[in-house]
Copies of this chain bind each other. A is one copy, B any other.
Amino acid sequence: MSVLAEWLGMLAAVCTTGAFVPQVLHVWRRKSAQDISFGMYFILVVGIVLWLIYGILIVAWPVILANGATLILALAILVMKVRYDRVPKR
């Protein structure tokens, strides 16, 4: 049961982090992020930074690595949101 749980947890982490990759590509290709919520990605980035500090404090590498990767992807979406909203393509 414990090994199954561990594998499920790792697969879950890969999914919830990897999920942001298609969103980065979607916004990048369309050069549009008007339907993306600035508030969501702002709060998300704050939350991920808190997860990172938490992971460092309790020395949990899976937490550090998963959130490190998600932080880069969430920041990319946030930066594109600000940039593309300023000069809208539509």
Contact = CB atoms under 8 A, between A and B. Distances in A.
Interface in A1-24: 1, 4-5, 8-9, 11-16, 18-23
Q: How many copies does the complex hold?
A: 2
Q: Is the interface of A mostly helix, strand, loop or mixed?
A: helix
A76 interface: no
B57 A15 contact: no
Given A4-B57, A5-B58, A47-B12, A27 B35 contact: yes
Nearest to A70: B16
B41 A19 contact: yes
B16 A54 contact: no
Interface of A: 1, 4-5, 8-9, 11-16, 18-23, 25-27, 30, 32-44, 46-48, 50-51, 53-54, 57-58, 90
Given A9-B50, A13-B47, 16 more contacts: A1-B57, A5-B57, A11-B50, A15-B46, A15-B47, A16-B44, A16-B48, A16-B51, A19-B42, A21-B40, A22-B37, A22-B43, A25-B37, A27-B35, A27-B37, A32-B34
